[in-house]
Amino acid sequence: MQKIMIQVLLVEDSLSDAKLLHQIFLQAYQQELKILHVERLSEAIELSLVNQKHLKDGWESATLKQDKFDVVLLDLGLPDSVGIDTLKEYRAVVPDIPVVVLTGIDDEELAMQALAEGAQDYLVKDQITIQRLVRAIRYAIEREEILNKLRESEEISRQALAKEQQLNELKSNFVAMVSHEFRNPMTTIRTAMDILQHQNNLNEERKNFYFERVQDAINHMLQLLDEVLFLSRSEAAKLEYKPALLDLISFCEEITDVLQMKAVGQQNIIFNYVGKCNISYMDEELLYCILTNLISNAVKYSPPQSNVWFNLDCGEDMVVFQVRDEGIGIPEKDQINLFQTFYRASNARRIQGTGLGLAMVKKCVDLHGGEISIESKQNMGTTVIVRLPLNYHAESK
């Protein structure tokens, strides 16, 4: 659809040439065109950049609407720039506004060079007619609109391809992770059941030992399935933020007690809190996922009998959870990728894990309108800090 009003930026240092062009414009467009005239390249670039920033910010004042340039008429001989470099410099900084070159030089080689550098047309001043100028401006605008649509289409295609590649990579990683993580417990179950079935001389203590091994393996597989289902819900946008009133201190104490009983290496989980946190408005499921994963990680990657500190600090509007351990730490090169699905730190490969925990935590923190940060040094422990608003409403995001 053709625009009713065309906005033109005229970059011309000759006042006589500028007046002549104004007269041609008046005859050609009458009230359908607005011109802003500047004499220097630096002024043209500054105005164009300001214009682009306002458009991105969504400003819609009447003054800014006048600055929405549809085309730039650019003289190649300006006080602060001369020749083809004038076009190169403008296009390098402002690539999205079509440029029609104005020049007093009738040079075919220069014209071809200008077109190669991105100009939509090349007009020699003493050869300009009303019809030629109108046609040049119209074609410049139309070609730029087509190019923009092609760029948008290319970007959409590129994003779709990247998404497909990401999904394929996730599927590949998922298959590899599941096959690896299920193989060990399944092997444990099969071995234990074979022993229980074929060795009749086992005493009750040995039988209980193998039954416990089977139960542990089953629990591990169930936990893995729970993690996969939880992650699939978040990927399918079915995981929602559903806040309710929560006694935060009791909630954290209960999590601490449960995880303390599960600490195989008898790590000591120390819970402390500051502030009035009894009544808060938070999502219990998301918060449970965040805290259990962080504390479980701290326990899993810490040596036996070491301490894991779980701190809660409640302010008026914000609650801060801190989980600190004395474990193996995270290499600096791995820290940037920790929240990627299936990613595991290079020093944790021999420790059982799926690479899903921190990815789930990050999604839960985001849904809760919060922030998460990690401070860690290899062999010196890790501190994870989660900041969540106490009374967050998702619709206010």
> Looking at the structure, do residues 75 and 102 belong to the same domain, yes or no?
yes
Domain region containing 171: 165-236
| pLDDT for the residue 51 | 63
- Is 1 a member of any domain? no
> Looking at the structure, do residues 215 and 115 belong to the same domain, yes or no?
no
What's 194's domain CATH number?
A: 1.10.287.130
**Contact in structure between 386 and 321 (CB atoms under 8 Å):** yes
> Looking at the structure, do residues 231 and 186 belong to the same domain, yes or no?
yes
pLDDT band per the 50, 70, 90 thresholds, residue 55: very low
Q: What average pLDDT does range 9-23 have in this prediction? A: 87
Q: Is 63 buried (19+), middle (13-18) or exposed (0-12) by CB count in 10 A? A: exposed
> Looking at the structure, do residues 103 and 192 belong to the same domain, yes or no?
no
> Looking at the structure, do residues 124 and 255 belong to the same domain, yes or no?
no
Q: Is the pLDDT of residue 49 over 60?
A: yes
> Looking at the structure, do residues 170 and 109 belong to the same domain, yes or no?
no
> Looking at the structure, do residues 257 and 376 belong to the same domain, yes or no?
yes
What does the pLDDT look like over 219-253, one tens digit per residue? 777 777 776 666 666 655 567 888 888 889 999 99
| pLDDT for the residue 256 | 95
> Looking at the structure, do residues 250 and 378 belong to the same domain, yes or no?
yes
- Is 361 a member of any domain? yes
Q: What average pLDDT does range 155-181 have in this prediction? A: 67
| pLDDT for the residue 279 | 77
Q: What average pLDDT does range 155-182 have in this prediction? A: 68
> Looking at the structure, do residues 188 and 204 belong to the same domain, yes or no?
yes
What's 107's domain CATH number?
A: 3.40.50.2300
- Is 139 a member of any domain? no
Give percent above pLDDT 90 in the chain: 26
Whole-angstrom distance, CA of residue 73 vs CA of residue 119: 10
Considering only residues 298 and 145, tell me which one the structure prediction assigns the higher pLDDT.
Answer: 298
Question: pTM for this one?
Answer: 0.51
- Is 370 a member of any domain? yes
Give me the number of domains the chain comprises: 3
Q: What average pLDDT does range 180-186 have in this prediction? A: 72
> Looking at the structure, do residues 224 and 199 belong to the same domain, yes or no?
yes
> Looking at the structure, do residues 256 and 381 belong to the same domain, yes or no?
yes
Whole-angstrom distance, CA of residue 358 vs CA of residue 360: 5
